[in-house]
Amino acid sequence: MDIKLLTINQLQQAYGSGELSVEAVISAYLDSITHQDSKIKAYLEVLGDKAVKQAEALDSKLRKGEKPGKLFGVPVAIKDNLCLQGSKTTAASKILENYIAPYTATTVQRLLNAGAVVLGKTNMDEFAMGSSCENSAFQKTKNPWDLKRVPGGSSGGSAAAVASQEALVALGSDTGGSIRQPASFCGQVGLKPTYGRVSRYGLIAMASSLDQIGPIARNVADAFKVYQTIAGPDPNDTTTVKALTFDEAALQKGFKNLKIGILKDAYVEGMDEGVVEKIQEAKKLMQENSAEVIEIEVPRAKLSLAIYYIIVTSEVSSNLARYDGIRYGMGKTFNESENFLDYTTRIRAEGLGEEAQRRVLLGAYTLSKGYADRYYHKALALQKSIAKDFEAAFKKVDVVFGPTAPTVAFKLGEKFGDPLTMYLSDIFTVPANIANLPAISLPIGFAHKMPVGGQFVGPSFREDLIFQAAAAYENISGISNLVSAKI
């Protein structure tokens, strides 16, 4: 038996029957990291000793007959923009290179409280800006299915870790697709919850009005278990509003009472033929399994990408203003003999990468006097109308299905020097963020020997519906628990 192929449920059973110890499982995952991660580079930091100690403590709890938590002995990886007290939390930026988190993010704490074991912190695009993980200041993560390709971004390290058996599940963050697109590129399941469902306390902010934390897992049930653990109100994040009102039973309903919409103009120019084919096959498969699929229109959804890049850059320029090299770990000191403006210009040019600098500049422009009305405020107004269009669509259907990304994972370097082309890889993921809808990506097949992801989007706070649809699809397609070939 390959321990690393067990799902969360199977692991719990094996722990319960005494067939496996947490220590054995954690060691198996740490071995996998030792053998492969020098090639994949999913992790920025591996917390091996801590993980083994935690595993021993959990095993002794089990021996004492204590009731195990929901994620008892589950090995997890954490994106490096989530704080873990006493550990480095860099958001893959040089400006935070030596930042040690003084507290733990609510989501991470909830995982720990449920008995999960943190294996380490994963690589990402700097401050979560990017779609390929190439914007990390420290290393470029490779796609475990083909080391010449990117894992997607920004949560590329988390997705690559799960796909290569270097973690069973992982946390990522999604502002415009950063959980779903890497999940799709690496053949995994990735969920972006509705904004307000999961606490952002302890998440290093990118665009605070859009950021959400969610799971990456090998199957829908595992993603649900992590989601269920991290979701719900938190006094430390007053934007968290609603408690969960559904349980795992939502995963067993099949396509019953579920009307699925497919966008009339779901495809874009330059889209990979292989991806288009898989989406059409997925539609057919659902119909053959008695799902009701109809075509719908969300007329202004196509404006989402333009609006997204105005709102995001505006918020980024404001959120990143706090990094001056003195606070948060870069360890610089300000010498009175230097003009402060010269000092910050110098330090920020040194500490922030190109994409971060580009967005700070763009955002300063879209927020500036005379331009804010033309860009930022206009984008906010249009954001509302897109949400309204989706609301109208959800009067006709329960969920919307479509591609997660226009292509499979692209080659390293292929889009790196061309930010606009890179931004276009978010075209199908950003509408859910802009309209504040929950969305889940899951593998639906392969093209060019690489995984292809499909996405279900639901009405606000109806994660139950997208989980139902995703579980039903996973069931009929038989595609789940994908792990890449051994490296």
Residues in contact with ligand GLN by CB under 6 A are: 128-131, 154, 174-178, 206, 312, 426
Tracing tokens 């889209």 back to the chain, one arrives at 271
- Our answer to whether residue 79 is catalytic in this structure is yes
C-alpha to C-alpha distance for 187 and 159, rounded to whole angstroms: 8
- Give the nearer residue to ligand GLN in terms of CB position, either 45 or 426: 426
Q: Find the angle CA(157)-CA(437)-CA(230) to the nearest 5 degrees.
A: 55
| Least Å from the CB of residue 146 to ligand GLN | 20
**CA proximity to 131, closest of 402, 351, 409, 401:** 409
- Give the nearer residue to ligand GLN in terms of CB position, either 272 or 426: 426
Give the DSSP letter of residue 198. Answer: B
Contact (CB, 8 A) for 82 and 108 = yes
- Give the nearer residue to ligand GLN in terms of CB position, either 341 or 420: 420
- Give the nearer residue to ligand GLN in terms of CB position, either 7 or 178: 178
| Least Å from the CB of residue 130 to ligand GLN | 5
> Exposure of 276 by Cβ count < 10 A (0-12 exposed, 13-18 middle, 19+ buried)?
middle
The 8 Å CB, 24+ separation contacts for 269-276 are 270/406, 270/424, 271/403, 271/406, 271/407, 272/406, 272/407, 272/408, 272/447, 272/448, 273/447, 274/408, 274/447, 274/448, 274/452, 275/403, 275/405, 275/406, 275/407, 275/408, 275/447, 275/452, 276/403
| Least Å from the CB of residue 291 to ligand GLN | 29
Q: Find the angle CA(232)-CA(234)-CA(240) to the nearest 5 degrees.
A: 65
| Least Å from the CB of residue 178 to ligand GLN | 3
| Least Å from the CB of residue 76 to ligand GLN | 19
- Our answer to whether residue 154 is catalytic in this structure is yes
Query: Residue 460: what residue type?
Result: S
- Give the nearer residue to ligand GLN in terms of CB position, either 164 or 433: 433
| Least Å from the CB of residue 308 to ligand GLN | 7
- DSSP-assigned letters across all residues of 77-91: EEETTB--TTSB--T
- Give the nearer residue to ligand GLN in terms of CB position, either 153 or 261: 153
How long a stretch of residues is the chain? 487
For the chain, the straight-line distance linking the first and the last C-alpha, in angstroms and rounded, comes to: 19
Catalytic residue among 79, 121, 278, 283: 79
Catalytic residue among 93, 131, 136, 154: 154
Catalytic residue among 178, 199, 304, 314: 178
C-alpha to C-alpha distance for 163 and 165, rounded to whole angstroms: 6
- Give the nearer residue to ligand GLN in terms of CB position, either 157 or 177: 177
| Least Å from the CB of residue 154 to ligand GLN | 4
Q: Closest residue to ligand GLN, Cβ-based?
A: 178
**CA proximity to 106, closest of 288, 230, 290, 268:** 230
Q: Which residues are catalytic?
A: 79, 154, 178
